């Protein structure tokens, strides 16, 4: 699977947009980009995923560059409850009969400040 690189930590002011970058320069054409987050003392939570088009849901937006070598997760109006470790994961497309295990890195600790 392609490797990802994320900054270890970031800060954001409450109410402002949080933009979390992820580098995945070795991504191949059949790999998705997934984002999860993990609030302290909780299990990881799925946020969003994409292949090559930008995606938006009720939690966040995902912007993937045209060459697909990097992406940005955007939380449009960060709140204190968004303080968490955010994981960017690259994963192969549907694998017939195979294990859809998630390979987590160390992620980015986003701290939202009041």
Partner 1 sequence: GAGVSQTPSNKVTEKGKYVELRCDPISGHTALYWYRQSLGQGPEFLIYFQGTGAADDSGLPNDRFFAVRPEGSVSTLKIQRTERGDSAVYLCASSLRRGNYEQYFGPGTRLTVT
Taking CB under 8 A as the criterion, the residue among 10, 19, 21, 32 binding partner 1 is 32
**Cα gap 5→108, rounded to integer Å:** 9
Give the SS3 label for residue 82.
helix
- What is the size of the binding site for partner 1 (CB under 8 A)? 27
Taking CB under 8 A as the criterion, the residue among 5, 9, 103, 113 binding partner 1 is 103
Taking CB under 8 A as the criterion, the residue among 29, 41, 66, 81 binding partner 1 is 41
Helices (H) and strands (E) in the chain, counts: 0, 9
Residues 6+ apart with CB under 8 A from 71: 21, 22, 24, 33, 50, 62, 63, 64, 65, 88
Regarding 9 and contact with partner 1 (CB under 8 A), the answer is no
**Cα gap 37→25, rounded to integer Å:** 21
Regarding 30 and contact with partner 1 (CB under 8 A), the answer is no
Binding mask 65-84 for partner 1 (x = CB under 8 A): --------------------
Footprint on this chain of partner 1 (rule: CB under 8 A)? 32, 34, 41-46, 49, 85, 87, 89, 91, 94-107
């Amino acid at each position: 699977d392609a490797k990802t690189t994320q900054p270890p930590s970031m800060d954001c002011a409450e109410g402002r947009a949080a933009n979390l970058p992820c580098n995945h320069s070795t991504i191949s054409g059949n790999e998705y980009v997934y984002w999860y987050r993990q609030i302290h003392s909780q299990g990881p939570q799925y946020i969003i995923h994409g292949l090559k088009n930008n995606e938006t849901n009720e939690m966040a937006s995902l912007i993937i560059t045209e060459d697909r070598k990097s992406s940005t997760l955007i939380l449009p109006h960060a709140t204190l409850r968004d303080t968490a470790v955010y994981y960017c994961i690259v994963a192969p497309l549907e694998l017939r009969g195979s294990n859809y295990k998630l390979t987590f890195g160390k992620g980015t600790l986003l701290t939202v400040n009041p």
